[in-house]
Amino acid sequence: MNDTAVAQFARDFPGIELLGLRFRSELDGPLGDRGLVRPARVIATATPEVVDAAFPSVPDRWFEVILAPSGDGVVVMMRDVSQRHQALLALEASEQRFRGTMETLFDAVFILEAAHDGADGSTELQFEYVNPAGARLIGTTPDAIIGRTYHDVFPDSTTGAVRRYLEAMATGQPLQFDVPWVETGSLRGSFEIHALPLDERRLVVVAHDVTGRLQAQQEARSSERQFRMMADHAGDVVIALRQGVIEWAAPSVERLMGWTVDEVVGRASLDFVHPDDAPMAEAVRWHPAAATKIRCRVAQRDGGWRWVDLVGRVAGPDGEPEHPLVLTVIDAQAEVEARDALQRAEEERQRLQQHVEESVRLESLSQLAGGVAHDFNNLLVGILGNAELALQDLPPDSSVRSRLVSISNAAQRAAELTRQLLDFTGRQPRDRMPLDITSLVADTVDLARSMTTRDVPVTVHASGSTAAVVGDRSQLQQVVMNLLVNAIDAVDPHTGRIDVSTRVRQLADDSSTLGLPGGDYVVISVSDNGRGIDPEHQRRIFDPFFTTRSGGRGLGLAVVGGIVRSHSGAVDVRSTPGAGAVFDVLLPASALPLEVPSTPMSFRLRRQPTVLVVDDDDEVRDVTGDILRRAGFQVLSESRGRDAISTFASRHATIDAVVLDLMMPDVTGDEVMVVLRAVEPGIPIVVISGYLDHDPLSEAATMKCTDHVRKPFLPEDLVEAVRRSLHQTPFVFPDDADGPGAGMLFEPRPPRLDG
């Protein structure tokens, strides 16, 4: 043993005496028992052997053992190769890991090695390694591929791929390219190729199958084309948003909103949403996982707003925010308009129902008030007429004269009360003519100023319109007067202010909430800054006998409502407690010219006229006859309509006028007039009634009623009406007239004061 061996063994095998030691005792295991090399074979064959071995005494050390024959013995040379062996073990482990990794990959992995072909001297590529995925791709096993050339495995391939691989190995630069489609043998598909040179003669090729991805992309493009085509032709608008900005819009946006695609793309979606609806529209962006639907208004290019439904959903799996938000814009304008129209119709239905209920209620009150007033008027005719006749018979110094005056005045006050009741019912007889409302209002305001003791400023504003109203002057004056009295009572005497104005207002057929047809209306407006009207009282202020004032009778506004209704008008009330009230009286405007009073002409009769009095009430009929006889008329009386017709038919040549009650049990006054006109078309007829169910003007036109007198009446009113009917002028009896009361006149006079 040389010195190196001695030192080595002394370090590795301490305490062992080598000289004389049997060789196999230490080396038989690693060299013999393990079957690597036997010294005997070296001696027998005279051939050296080399083996790496680890000895039991030093298992973590590896040695390169060289056995060389030397005569009958063996020369053993050993070298410590532990580091090299460990490197080989690490390389082997790395290779195992590499193979394990490669064999689990889904991508095909090949290791190609450059080799020279002996036939023509060209360089060929051989498969040094193929993972299972690569073998499956080709349709065989790894062992069937390893060692074969590239063209053996891919006979249909061109030399282009081989050339590119060789260039990559020569330059050391990685290589990447796509194979759009390959079809050879069992290999079909599209691939993405990555080649990485290992050295000048080897490179790793990874083939990633992108067939599915390309097909998905193709399907996506096809789907997108179909989507765009459907979006372009759909009735609804489709818009794609990203981060609230419009990325794409269907051309139908121009049809719905007026904007072109270029005008909306790139702008914030909220630029087109009504400011009041913007918070609601933002909810679509912040709830992308599920379809969200909201209704809002969007801006049209012409400056208007249009109602739409927005349905939004993210165009990606699970509503991922990186995908665009697709909005479907559905036109909802017609639906909203229909809903609003339905709502308006329902409100109109409720309003009309309330109006009908109110009309039924007022009609019931009117029937009650009218019936009471009619019967009461008949009683008052007897009281008032007899009192007046008795006054005519008494000497001026009679002690009972004051009592009769009191009776007459009380009857006249009762008559005024019934007149107000009839005004409320709208059945009060009316003398209608075209009236200048501006003049009527000014006169009434002047009259109100002279009657009140409260110094409240009343301002009159006239529109200057010449529109007239066909109506009863005294009744319309009563309307204005009652409104003024209420306003004066409602305001503070120191700070109060009342404004009265007239104007013309046009109503559309469907715009009035007052139940009036469309057309032109003259408006009389009375406003004040008084205490106002409580809301719960507003619906009752036109009820008869409803009042909030101590000592009030509750007929002022009831009369206003009745008169205005009888003139085919309406009253609009607006009031806030503590802020005053406004009463607008709307009356149909008329194009008729205002009447100019004509100068009456006087006529004389050659004989004492005869009047036929027809009334079913005995008291009324008797008093009426007495009044006419005292005025110089001859009187015939009948209590039934049929009897009146019979009498007139037999004596019409001597009858000069008829005083007729309209309300009779057997035949109505209207029917009696028809028959009388048939017998004598020109006969003057004076109607006496507590109320008239028909418009007196229309009756005068169709039935030619000459005049009418309201019950209860003063004697002079009846006499004057009969005289007007006979001659259309105040009657003057001839000087030689015969009969009782000849030359006697009832002169109009104001009501007497009590006592």
The model's pLDDT over 60-82, given as tens digits with 9 standing for 90+, comes to 778 788 888 887 888 878 787 88
CA 719 – CA 738 distance, rounded (Å): 18
Exposed / middle / buried, residue 587 (Cβ in 10 Å: 0-12, 13-18, 19+)? buried
* Interval 454-481 mean pLDDT: 82
Tell me the pLDDT tens digit for each residue of 133-164: 888 888 888 888 898 988 888 877 666 788 88
From 321-325, 589-593, 642-646, 648-652, the region with the lowest mean pLDDT: 321-325
pLDDT at 184: 65
Predicted confidence band of residue 432 (pLDDT cuts 50, 70, 90) = confident
User: Is residue 742 over pLDDT 70?
Assistant: no
State the virtual CA torsion across 95, 96, 100, 102 in degrees, nearest 10.
20
Contacts of 273 (CB under 8 A, 6+ apart): 281, 296, 297, 298, 299
pTM over 0.85: no
AA letter at 206: V
pLDDT at 525: 92
Predicted confidence band of residue 372 (pLDDT cuts 50, 70, 90) = confident
AA letter at 227: F
Exposed / middle / buried, residue 222 (Cβ in 10 Å: 0-12, 13-18, 19+)? exposed
Beta bridge partners of 203: 112, 197
Say which residue, 511 or 220, is predicted with more confidence: 220
Contacts of 274 (CB under 8 A, 6+ apart): 296, 297, 298, 299, 305
CA 48 – CA 41 distance, rounded (Å): 9
pLDDT at 490: 86
Structure-block tokens of residue 708: 């009418």
Q: What is the DSSP string of 460-477?
A: EEE-----EEEEEHHHHH
* Interval 675-696 mean pLDDT: 76
283 neighbors 292 (Cβ within 8 angstroms)? yes
| Range from 26-35, 429-438, 447-456, 577-586 that averages highest in pLDDT | 577-586
Using N-to-C axis directions, what is the helix angle for 669-679 and 641-651, rounded to 10°?
A: 10
Tell me the pLDDT tens digit for each residue of 89-145: 777 776 677 666 667 677 888 889 988 654 566 788 899 999 888 888 888 888 888
Q: What percent of the chain has pLDDT above 70?
A: 73
Q: Using alpha carbons, select from 708, 689, 688, 691 the residue that is nearest to residue 423.
A: 691
pLDDT at 226: 65
AA letter at 298: V
pLDDT at 731: 36
Tell me the pLDDT tens digit for each residue of 413-422: 777 777 766 6
pLDDT at 605: 47
Tally of CB atoms within 10 A around 727? 18
Tally of CB atoms within 10 A around 368? 13
Rg (CA), the chain: 62
Give helix then strand counts, H and E, for the chain. Answer: 22, 25
pLDDT at 30: 52
CA 289 – CA 295 distance, rounded (Å): 19
Predicted confidence band of residue 393 (pLDDT cuts 50, 70, 90) = confident
What is the SS3 assignment for 506?
strand
What's the whole-number average pLDDT of the chain? 77
* Interval 722-728 mean pLDDT: 81
Tally of CB atoms within 10 A around 35? 7
Structure-block tokens of residue 99: 């193979």
Say which residue, 227 or 401, is predicted with more confidence: 401
Fill in the DSSP letter of residue 754: P
CA 402 – CA 755 distance, rounded (Å): 5
Structure-block tokens of residue 439: 């003049």
Exposed / middle / buried, residue 106 (Cβ in 10 Å: 0-12, 13-18, 19+)? exposed
Sheet of 634-638: strand order equals 634-638, 610-614, 657-661, 685-689, 707-710
